[in-house]
A and B are shown apart, each in its own frame.
Chain A
Amino acid sequence: MEYDSLQVQDVLVPVDGSPAGFDALALACTLAKRRKGTVYAVYVIEVARNLALDAELAPEARHGEEVLTKSEDVAAELDYKVEGEILQARDAGHAIVDEAIERAVSAVVMGVDYETPLGEFDLGNTALYVIKHAPCQLVLLRAAARE
Chain B
Amino acid sequence: MYIIVIGAGKVGYYLAKELLAEGENEVLVIEKDGAKCERIAEELGDIVLRGDGCEAATMSLAGFGRADMVIAVTGDDEDNLVSCQVAKVKFNVPRTVARINNPKNEEIFRRLGIDATISATAAILAHIEQELPTHPLIPLLTLRMGLEIVGLKIPPTAAVVGKRVGELMLPQQSLIALIIDSRGSPNAPTGQTVIQAEDEVVAVTRTENEGALRAALTAPSTSEPFGAAASGQ
**Residues of chain B with a CB closer than 8 A to A91's CB:** 46
B26 near A53 (CB under 8 angstroms)?
yes
In the complex, whether B25 has a CB less than 8 A from a CB of chain A is no
In the complex, whether B45 has a CB less than 8 A from a CB of chain A is yes
**Residues of chain B with a CB closer than 8 A to A94's CB:** 41, 45-46
B62 near A49 (CB under 8 angstroms)?
yes
Measuring CB to CB, which residues of chain A are less than 8 angstroms from any residue of chain B? 48-53, 89-91, 94
**Residues of chain B with a CB closer than 8 A to A52's CB:** 2, 26, 66
B45 near A50 (CB under 8 angstroms)?
no
A50 near B61 (CB under 8 angstroms)?
yes
B46 near A50 (CB under 8 angstroms)?
no
Measuring CB to CB, which residues of chain B are less than 8 angstroms from any residue of chain A? 2, 26, 28, 41, 45-46, 49, 60-63, 65-66
Q: How far is the CA of A1 from the CA of B183 in the complex (A)?
A: 79
B49 near A49 (CB under 8 angstroms)?
yes
Q: How far is the CA of A89 from the CA of B26 in the complex (A)?
A: 13
**Residues of chain A with a CB closer than 8 A to B65's CB:** 50
B21 to chain A, nearest CB (A): 18
From A48, A49, A90, A94, residue with most partner B Cβ within 10 Å: A49
A49 near B63 (CB under 8 angstroms)?
yes
A42 to chain B, nearest CB (A): 16
B61 near A49 (CB under 8 angstroms)?
yes
A62 to chain B, nearest CB (A): 24
Q: How far is the CA of A50 from the CA of B28 in the complex (A)?
A: 11
Q: How far is the CA of A90 from the CA of B47 in the complex (A)?
A: 8
Q: How far is the CA of A66 from the CA of B45 in the complex (A)?
A: 29
